[in-house]
Chains A and B, each alone.
Chain A
């Protein structure tokens, strides 16, 4: 991925990242998308319409990911050029850290759980 650090001429106007990008239509689009992307997962879980729990879980996680991106773009006004690309750099760095921390914790602790000797066998070992 490439962030164009030198293209961020707009960031030197002293008003920060959100300046000049705030529009009513932007907020309304974001809100409408958020409502749809929130309502569908709730509906899926409350009615159990998909039947399979595994499939439902994957679908609602996909909806959450999309909604997070929608919020980032329409409410937080993220783009690759604000503050000379540094907000995007900070975000990508944070996302990498988050993925490492989350998958690492879940992975290691899952294997620890699986390989842990059940408590009722502990006594018979001695």
Chain B
């Protein structure tokens, strides 16, 4: 600990505490989690850049026009968008300390998230069935890496969501659980932002190529 002696009263030392004051538990969690999200953002940026470079290399294989089903992507997008607003409702219920309503909206959010992952997996299965595997061309390798990484994030978000629902069920809306729910809220909305990039740059621009 550093101590400063005031020069004017040399005979009678006065001590000042220059250490930082105590922080409440979890006070820096939000900022820390935000910085984690920013590092995740960099991962996606590199995957987008890779897709941007390799996205046109079809190796005489299928192109986006042959593979993508825009109405299905629109349905998938609406699933993620709806899950965002229902998570918002869960946060509003949490603010009012209404456990049952929070759990209800979290469950609805989980169902929308599950629908999103399910639709994406069926799309992948359909593509692989048609021979459009990640090994087929550089375009497909980068496509599966980018979209798959996003889908994996959503899947882990679902695991986290389920864990937090059990936590809230067992311990109620205690301060720690509120903090965790707020972190997941940021994670969930962040994935929605990434998905805006995916449906614009991969699907919509892919159909325009």
The interface of chain A, by Cβ under 8 A from chain B, is: 12, 14, 16-18, 22-24, 27-28, 30-31, 34-35, 38, 41-42, 45-46, 53, 56-57, 60-61, 63-64, 67-68, 71-72, 75-76, 83, 86-87, 90-91, 93-94, 97-98, 101-102, 105-106, 109
**Please, which residues of chain A bring their CB within 8 A of the CB of B29?**
16
17 contacts between A and B (CB under 8 A): A16-B182, A17-B30, A22-B91, A38-B77, A38-B196, A42-B74, A60-B205, A61-B205, A64-B197, A75-B192, A76-B186, A83-B30, A83-B34, A90-B31, A94-B38, A97-B42, A105-B52
Main secondary structure on B side of the interface with A: helix
Q: Which of A12, A56, A97 contacts B208 (CB 8 A)?
A: A56
**Please, which residues of chain B bring their CB within 8 A of the CB of A42?**
70, 73-74, 77, 204
Q: Which of A22, A27, A41, A102 contacts B85 (CB 8 A)?
A: A27
> Scoring B residues 24 to 59 as 1 if CB is less than 8 Å from chain A, else 0, what string do you get?
101101110011001001100110111011000000
Given that A61-B200, A83-B31 are contacting pairs, would A98 and B186 also be in contact in the complex, using a CB cutoff of 8 Å?
Answer: no
A106, B53: Cβ atoms under 8 Å?
A: yes
**Please, which residues of chain A bring their CB within 8 A of the CB of B71?**
46
A18-B30, A57-B208 known, 14 other contacts, Cβ within 8 Å: A14-B24, A16-B30, A16-B182, A18-B186, A27-B92, A38-B78, A42-B74, A53-B208, A60-B200, A61-B205, A90-B35, A101-B42, A102-B48, A102-B52
